[in-house]
């Protein structure tokens, strides 16, 4: 599945939702826990899994080898993985407030 | 990614935090979200395809903006200071629009074909919220905001900003919930300006409370900053020079709560900045450069850049007080020559920009991005060796007076309707307070006479006050090129010499 910037991904097993912030020409599947994340609007989790490390609202997660970057827009249990590797929390680089 | 997703994040992560208005009775993140959900249904129920906002700064602005997003229709804030004729012309172009306004009578008179909602009534109805009302995204390609640009001709264009442009700007420049609970920002830029839209989104996403000041005076601004312990502010250059003068004349000390003061929208004199830096020793200054078409800021000169330039020994570094800083991480800025090739450092050319936040699109005429994705800003400038951008002026002749873009053609058109005027040209001349002032060069018909005051009065009755020439000079003939184009640069230079 091609990953497009701006698309929102969710799974059927966690309340966690992410938005693709950076995906330089990438194809593949992002997993949240054991479940595939897709841009399909349907399939809200009936009983959300409570296992797994928390994916935190507003934080960015990156897969350094590929440059994939995701933003958590709804929190939930993870972890987020891509190509078999767990995504890591990206540290914020503060910019001065310009407006 | 769209504005509603941003709003949901704010409501989820900072639902109890007061984000708009006074701390004691302002709107929390959750309340703003609920009002947008109700307002969205209300607006969708009118069948409107555009939401026009004709009003001042205040909590109604964010509620109406997000309600429009929830109704999946563009939000078009208009300048209430426009003349009746100008507003009538713009409103006549809107089919099936709903006008949310604090001047209902005027809107009904100027646009009898449109639905008009009273602003206070709208806010009241939005407040009767349904708990957990859902917000349904209209997709990131949908148009979020339309903003009128002045244009170089008298007919203004509408810049198109889609959800993905505005959200790209926010995700690229602001960290979610990064503000402290005690932070607050004061907003005194008008709601029909890109800065007001960007400002609203940035501060909500950061979790910083927004305090609106509808009518700017330097004294009032300083009083609100003190009373509300404001930590952040954004002003246009004219406001900054008035704040500086107010502090100098009253010999008062600057409000200590202010940690960050950003300015932009027009050129600022280095002297005003230097004075401001000394008057606000504990404040971080930020110069932001951006355009409506680029979803606000694309380059920023940060607090450290300012202090290093003020105190530095290196002449190259000192010059940076007159720079707009470096490109934001998610945009690329280039200075190009006439062939579209990048200029060497220090060489003046056309400033172009590309990136996910760059819209570069108009309702009239579509996208202006070239095949490589560059948007021509139509500003001229150069980059120094470290990537600091210096803006030298507009490629076209738009006058920027106090942050307001003014097309000379419109004033010239008004001038030529005067019976004594044979020929004329209007240019912007550098001014410390306004960035530029309007200078009119007038050639009087033979056997006719007129005075400076008559000329100014003539324009004032036809256009609004800010478009009245500040200076009028009578000359025998206009300098023109071989093809008959007025040499505006010569007029500006001529003015500086005298």
Q: Could you please report the per-residue DSSP string of B49-107?
A: SEEEEES-SSTHHHHHHHHHHHTT--EEE--TTS-HHHHHHHHHT-SSEEEEES-HHHH
Per the CB < 8 Å rule, is A57 touching B176? yes
Closest CA to B320 of B307, B335, B331, B329: B307
Of B8, B296, B329, nearest to A99 by CB-CB distance is B296
Return the pLDDT at B482: 47
Per the CB < 8 Å rule, is B175 touching A94? yes
Per the CB < 8 Å rule, is A19 touching B232? no
Sort out which chain A residues have CB atoms less than 8 A from B7's CB and list them: none
As to burial, measured by CB atoms within 10 angstroms (0-12 exposed, 13-18 middle, 19+ buried), residue B495 is: middle
Of A8, A58, A94, nearest to B176 by CB-CB distance is A58
Return the pLDDT at B75: 98
Return the pLDDT at A49: 64
For the CA atoms of chain B, what is the radius of gyration?
23
Class of domain B306-394: mainly beta
Per the CB < 8 Å rule, is B176 touching A59? yes
Closest CA to B439 of B416, B470, B410, B460: B470
Instruction: Dump the DSSP string for B271-301.
Output: HHHHHHHHH-TT-EEEEEEEEGGGTEEEEEE
Q: Contact B356/B166 with Cβ under 8 angstroms? A: no
Closest CA to B442 of B461, B427, B431, B464: B427
Count of CB atoms within 10 A of residue B466's CB?
A: 13
Non-local CB neighbours of B361 within 8 Å, separated by 6+ positions:
B159, B160, B162, B293, B367, B368, B369
Strand partners, A61: A70, A89
- In this predicted model, what pLDDT tens digit does every residue of A19-54 receive, in sequence order? 999 998 899 999 999 899 998 765 555 455 668 899
Question: Does A79 sit behind a cis peptide bond, omega within 30 degrees of 0 on the bond before it?
Answer: yes
In chain A, the percentage of residues whose pLDDT exceeds 90 is 58
**Residue of B1, B294, B300 to mutate, testing the A interface (most A Cβ within 10 Å of its Cβ):** B1
Measure the CA–CA gap between B75 and B42, rounded to whole angstroms. 14
Say whether B383 sits in a helix, a strand or coil: strand
Q: Which residue of B has its CA nearest to A5?
A: B1
Q: Please give chain B's pLDDT, 498 residues, in tens.
A: 999 999 999 999 999 999 999 999 999 999 999 999 999 999 999 999 999 999 999 999 999 999 999 999 999 999 888 889 889 999 999 989 999 999 999 999 999 999 999 999 999 999 986 766 789 999 999 999 999 875 433 456 899 999 999 999 999 999 999 999 999 999 998 899 899 999 999 999 999 999 999 889 999 999 999 999 999 999 988 889 889 989 999 988 999 999 999 998 776 767 788 899 999 999 999 999 999 999 999 999 999 999 999 888 898 898 898 899 999 999 999 999 989 999 999 998 899 999 999 999 999 889 999 999 999 998 888 999 999 999 876 667 778 888 887 878 778 888 988 999 988 999 999 888 888 999 999 999 988 999 999 999 999 999 878 899 999 999 998 887 644 557 777 888 877 655
* Chain center to CA of A31: 8
CA B392, B397, B398, B401 torsion-angle sign: positive
Structure tokens at B171: 């995700």
Sort out which chain A residues have CB atoms less than 8 A from B195's CB and list them: 99
- B443 CA: distance to closest CA in chain A (Å): 43
Measure the CA–CA gap between B214 and B58, rounded to whole angstroms. 7
Return the pLDDT at B496: 66
Measure the CA–CA gap between A57 and B5, rounded to whole angstroms. 12
Of A6, A58, A96, nearest to B177 by CB-CB distance is A58
Strand partners, B403: none
- In this predicted model, what pLDDT tens digit does every residue of B149-185 receive, in sequence order? 754 334 568 999 999 999 999 999 999 999 999 999 9
The domain spans of chain B are: 3-305, 306-394, 399-497
Measure the CA–CA gap between B103 and A95, rounded to whole angstroms. 39
Return the pLDDT at A47: 56
Q: Classify the complex by whether its ipTM is higher than 0.95, answering yes or no.
A: no
- In this predicted model, what pLDDT tens digit does every residue of B396-445 receive, in sequence order? 777 888 888 787 877 888 898 899 998 899 999 988 888 899 999 999 99
CATH numeric code, B3-305: 3.40.50.12780
- How many residues are present in chain B? 498
Say yes or no: do domains B3-305 and B399-497 share a fold: no
Return the pLDDT at A46: 46
Q: Mean pLDDT across the stretch A53-58? A: 95
Measure the CA–CA gap between B84 and B398, rounded to whole angstroms. 23
As to burial, measured by CB atoms within 10 angstroms (0-12 exposed, 13-18 middle, 19+ buried), residue B378 is: middle
Measure the CA–CA gap between B288 and B66, rounded to whole angstroms. 25
Of B171, B174, B262, nearest to A21 by CB-CB distance is B171
Count of CB atoms within 10 A of residue B182's CB?
A: 11
Non-local CB neighbours of B271 within 8 Å, separated by 6+ positions:
B432
Return the pLDDT at B92: 93
Size of interface A-B (CB pairs under 8 A): 77
Q: Contact B9/B75 with Cβ under 8 angstroms? A: no
Structure tokens at A94: 């503060």
Q: Contact B49/B95 with Cβ under 8 angstroms? A: yes
Per the CB < 8 Å rule, is B262 touching A98? yes
Per the CB < 8 Å rule, is A97 touching B303? no
* Chain center to CA of B11: 27
End-to-end CA distance of chain B: 55
Non-local CB neighbours of B371 within 8 Å, separated by 6+ positions:
none
B150-153 CB contacts, 8 Å cutoff, 24+ apart: B150/B398, B150/B404, B150/B405, B150/B406, B150/B407, B151/B407, B152/B396, B152/B397, B152/B398, B152/B407, B152/B409, B153/B407, B153/B409
Which CATH architecture is the domain B399-497 placed in? 2-Layer Sandwich (3.30)
Instruction: Dump the DSSP string for chain A.
Output: -B--TT-EEE-SS-S-EEEEEE-TT-BS-EEETTEEPBS-S----SS----SPEEPTT-EEEETTTTEEEEEEE-EE--EEETTEE-EEPPP-------
Which H or E run includes B422? strand B421-431
For the CA atoms of chain A, what is the radius of gyration?
13
């Amino acid at each position: 599945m091609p990953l497009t910037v701006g698309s929102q991904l969710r799974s059927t097993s966690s309340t966690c939702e992410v938005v693709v912030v950076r995906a330089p020409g990438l194809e593949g599947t992002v997993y949240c826990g054991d479940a595939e994340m897709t841009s399909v609007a349907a399939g809200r989790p009936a009983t959300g899994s409570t296992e797994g490390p928390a994916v935190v609202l507003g934080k960015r997660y990156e897969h350094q080898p590929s440059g994939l970057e995701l933003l958590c827009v709804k929190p939930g249990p993870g972890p987020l993985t891509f190509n078999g590797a767990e995504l890591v929390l990206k540290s914020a680089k503060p910019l001065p407030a310009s407006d | 990614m769209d504005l509603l997703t941003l709003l949901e994040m704010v409501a989820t992560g900072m639902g109890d935090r007061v984000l708009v208005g006074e701390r004691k009775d302002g709107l929390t993140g959750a309340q703003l979200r609920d009002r947008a959900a109700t307002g969205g249904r209300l607006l969708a129920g009118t069948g409107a395809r555009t939401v026009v906002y004709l009003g001042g700064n205040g909590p109604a602005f964010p509620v109406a903006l997000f309600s429009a997003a929830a109704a999946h229709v563009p939000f078009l804030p208009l300048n209430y200071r426009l003349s009746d004729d100008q507003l009538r012309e713009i409103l006549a172009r809107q089919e099936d629009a709903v006008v949310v306004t604090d001047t209902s009578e005027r809107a009904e008179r100027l646009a009898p074909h449109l639905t008009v909602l009273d602003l206070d009534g709208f806010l009241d109805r939005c407040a009767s919220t349904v708990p957990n009302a859902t917000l349904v995204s209209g997709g990131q390609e949908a148009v979020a905001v339309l903003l009128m640009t002045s244009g170089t001709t008298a007919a203004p264009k509408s810049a198109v900003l889609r959800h993905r442009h505005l959200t790209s700007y926010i995700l690229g420049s602001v960290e979610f919930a990064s503000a402290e609970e005690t932070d607050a920002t004061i907003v005194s830029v008008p709601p029909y300006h890109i800065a007001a839209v960007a400002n609203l989104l940035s501060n909500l996403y950061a979790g910083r409370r927004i305090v609106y000041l509808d009518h700017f005076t330097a004294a009032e601004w300083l009083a609100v900053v003190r009373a509300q312990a404001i930590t952040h502010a954004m002003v246009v250059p004219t406001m900054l020079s008035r704040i500086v003068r107010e502090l100098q004349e009253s010999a008062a000390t600057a409000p200590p709560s202010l940690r960050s003061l950003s300015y932009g929208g027009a050129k600022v004199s280095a002297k005003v900045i230097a004075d401001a830096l000394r008057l606000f020793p504990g404040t971080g200054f930020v110069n932001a450069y951006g355009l409506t078409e680029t979803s606000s800021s694309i380059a920023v000169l940060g607090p450290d850049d300012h202090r290093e330039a003020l105190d530095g020994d290196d002449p190259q570094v000192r010059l940076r007080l007159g720079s707009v800083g470096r490109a934001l991480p998610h945009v690329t800025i280039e200075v190009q020559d006439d062939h579209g090739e990048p200029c060497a450092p220090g060489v003046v050319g056309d400033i172009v920009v590309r990136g996910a936040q760059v819209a570069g699109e108009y309702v009239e005429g579509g996208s202006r991005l070239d095949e490589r994705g560059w948007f021509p800003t139509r500003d001229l400038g150069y980059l120094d060796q470290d990537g600091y951008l210096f803006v030298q002026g507009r490629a076209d002749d738009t006058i920027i007076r106090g942050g307001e873009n003014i097309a000379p053609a419109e004033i010239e058109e008004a001038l030529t309707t005067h019976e004594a005027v044979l020929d004329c040209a209007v240019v912007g001349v550098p001014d410390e307070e306004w960035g530029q002032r309007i200078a009119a060069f007038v050639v009087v018909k033979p056997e006719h006479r007129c005075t400076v005051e008559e000329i100014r009065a003539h324009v004032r009755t036809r256009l609004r006050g800010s478009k009245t020439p500040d200076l009028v000079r009578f000359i025998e003939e206009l300098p023109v090129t071989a093809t008959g184009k007025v040499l505006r640069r010569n007029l500006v230079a001529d003015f500086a010499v005298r």
